[in-house]
């Protein structure tokens, strides 16, 4: 993806989060990896969304959508208002419940785009630490979340200054291995982890999504 197009896609995501009903409330939007580093082209556009839980459940909507569409959890895990407006974008997990991360991906992304969406209830920095610990404990380095991120939206406001720095390529980050070393990995471990992350990203194609709960 050409960098100009990647930046346009980021702004389209921000516009949607600011102005359109979402499946779940969105508290933060970050970008990380290639686009944050100023690369052109961007091999994959990595976007991180911090979601909040719905404040009020809607048992009536849940029963109606399950009866009409065979989808559980509407009005509980995802917004009934959103689902009524976008029944074609409802996505479920393996047990047939509405999956917030998949619904967000369906709303925000096109299937053929080289974009990865991470969705979690925790902030980017907190999840970076949690994912690193889990990956090291399970020897699954490919699951590490690249810590080189930029916050573009938080608590209802986008950061124009961060967007401008992103557009101008003014942000400076260490290599992935160096960044992981700063988070506590030794040099050899950090190098191996960085290689695993790169190989995993290279194996992905099209739009992908991952949901986490911390």
Q: What pTM, to 2 d.p., does this model score? A: 0.94
Please report, for the chain, the start and end positions of each structural domain, with discontinuous segments joined by +.
3-54+100-212
CA quadruple 1, 31, 54, 73: dihedral positive or negative?
positive
* pLDDT tens digits, one per residue of 44-91: 999 999 999 876 667 787 888 888 888 888 988 899 889 989 989 999
- Average of per-residue pLDDT values in the chain: 93
Percent over 90 (pLDDT), the chain: 80
Q: What would the DSSP string read from start to end of 63-123?
A: HHHHHHHS-B-BTTTB-HHHHHH-GGG--B-TTSBB-HHHHHHHHH--TTS-EEEEEESS-
* pLDDT tens digits, one per residue of 135-156: 999 999 999 999 999 999 998 9
**pLDDT (0 to 100) of residue 57:** 67
* pLDDT tens digits, one per residue of 171-191: 999 999 999 999 999 999 999
- Give which of 79, 196, 175 is closest to 131, Cα–Cα: 196
d(CA 207, CA 193): 23
* Encoded tokens for 141: 């380095």
């Amino acid at each position: 993806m050409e960098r100009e197009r990647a930046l346009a896609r980021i702004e389209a995501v921000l516009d949607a989060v600011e102005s359109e009903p979402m499946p779940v409330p969105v508290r933060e939007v970050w970008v990380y990896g290639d686009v944050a580093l100023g690369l052109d082209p961007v091999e994959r556009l990595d976007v991180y969304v911090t979601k909040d839980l719905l404040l009020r459940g809607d048992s009536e909507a849940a029963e109606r959508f399950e009866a009409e569409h065979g989808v559980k959890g509407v009005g509980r895990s995802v917004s009934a208002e959103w689902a009524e407006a976008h029944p074609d974008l409802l996505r479920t997990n393996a047990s047939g419940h509405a999956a917030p991360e998949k619904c967000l991906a369906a709303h925000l992304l096109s299937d053929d785009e080289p974009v990865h969406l991470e969705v979690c209830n925790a902030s980017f920095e907190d999840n970076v630490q949690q994912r690193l610990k889990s990956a090291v404990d399970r020897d699954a380095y490919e699951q590490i979340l690249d810590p080189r991120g930029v916050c573009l939206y938080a608590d209802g406001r986008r950061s124009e200054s961060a967007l401008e720095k992103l557009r101008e390529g003014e942000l400076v980050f260490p290599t992935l291995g160096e960044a992981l070393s700063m988070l506590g990995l030794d040099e050899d471990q950090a190098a191996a982890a960085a290689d695993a992350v790169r190989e995993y990203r290279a194996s992905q194609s099209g739009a992908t999504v991952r949901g986490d709960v911390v």
